[in-house]
Amino acid sequence: MRFVVAMTGASGAVYGKRLLEKLPGEKILVMSDVAKSMIPTELECGPEGLAELADAVYDDGDLFAPISSGSYRFDAMIVVPCSASSLGKIANGLADTLITRAAAVAMKESRKLVLVIRETPKSAVILENELKLARNGVCILDANPGYYHNPRTLDDVIDFVVGRCMDQLGLEHDLYKRWG
């Protein structure tokens, strides 16, 4: 399987890092410029450390990267974390970066697209953008952990959200204890 993992400038780089660690198969990473600036404030590894977890890394300004074309096959794209700005661009068809172009490709090619939104509270504009995308088959997955599995550590909380991402991709995992 081939996955595109995109990281935008919202807080929550830890989710993207953990997903890169857990995803099977080929992983293609794109980080926005704001994400690259934000990551060092949240992760010790920095953008370079995240790049080591991927099989290929493309610059967000590289609109000639393979993932910008519908003829290049990938199974799913996960934007984690997904900022409100990226959400808005994707919802309104603004494909001016590699991340937003690859998301447009995922939608037009009917591939799985998961947006892990890291924004709270939400304005009506954000909610409308989420609704527009959900109506078009995009999975809107807020970075909201469950607590029924009795998390004991921050890693347990992170694993719950990453596990829910993997659930949306149809991937088996043991990141959290399921309900019941």
Map out the domains of the chain with their CATH numbers: 2-168 (3.40.50.1950)
Cβ contact 43:69 at 8 Å = no
- Residue pLDDT, tens place only, 153-180: 999 999 999 999 999 999 999 999 998 8
Distance CA 122, CA 83 (A): 11
pLDDT of res. 85: 97
**What confidence category does residue 107 fall into, taking pLDDT thresholds of 50, 70 and 90?**
very high
Paired tokens of 156: 């347990």
**How many Cβ atoms sit within 10 Å of the Cβ of residue 126?**
17
- Residue pLDDT, tens place only, 122-133: 999 999 999 999
Taking the model in full, what pTM does it have? 0.96
Distance CA 91, CA 100 (A): 9
Paired tokens of 64: 């000639």
- Residue pLDDT, tens place only, 48-78: 999 999 999 999 999 999 999 999 999 999 9
